[in-house]
Structure 1
């Protein structure tokens, strides 16, 4: 069965450049090994990147030893659902691509919260 998004449709690609996803397939798929639940397809902002760095997850600094180029504002990235929710509560939630956000995200945050930050 194909993965579903938060709207009930088939999960679509989040980003191939930079290549994202727990499984590095461009989609916000998840499995039992994904303890961080990297399921939210977010369009990152400078404010979110600074917030994430401040709480211990620097997503903007390149880490070539892991094949990570670092994110810049406007990039799409599969975020951990709990990190997105933490950013939302703090007022720094990035926009969300609902069709590319995995349905498992709804175990962490409400659809209405995601819809309030939705982009096409």
Structure 2
């Protein structure tokens, strides 16, 4: 069964550089072990990265022990849907790629919110 995106199509690739996704396959796919639901394909901004660090999740600092180079503005990354929604409410939501955002994101945020921050490839 092919994973679906928030607009009803097949889930598209989010990023391979940096390699993202719960399964580190470049897609924002999910499974029952993904408690954070890393399903929103977002384009990082300095403002969001600062916001996330302030929430205790520093995504900018390299962590070589996890083979993680750190994220920079412009990178695409599969975010936890709840963190994206927190950032939206706080005014720091990064843009999203709808065709690469898993349908499970709609359990946490409304399609209209995602569409308001949508970019096209």
1:24 to 2:24 alignment = yes
Query: Could you tell me how far apart the structure 2 residues matched to 1:43 and 1:36 are?
Result: 18
After superposition, the C-alpha distances for 1:57-97 in whole angstroms (9 at most, x for unaligned) are 00000000001110000000000000000000000000000
Which stretches in structure 1 are left out of the alignment for 5+ residues?
none
Query: Could you tell me how far apart the structure 2 residues matched to 1:101 and 1:42 are?
Result: 8
Runs of 4+ in 1 over 4 A off after TM superposition: none
The number of residues matched between the two structures is 120
Give, in angstroms, the shift of residue 113 of structure 1. Answer: 0.1
Which secondary structure does the structure 2 equivalent of 1:41 belong to? strand
Match of 1:81 in 2: 81
Query: How high is the TM-score relative to the length of structure 1?
Result: 1.00
Match of 1:12 in 2: 12
1:69 to 2:76 alignment = no
Match of 1:114 in 2: 114
Q: CA RMSD in A?
A: 0.2
Which stretches in structure 2 are left out of the alignment for 5+ residues?
none
Which secondary structure does the structure 1 equivalent of 2:41 belong to? strand
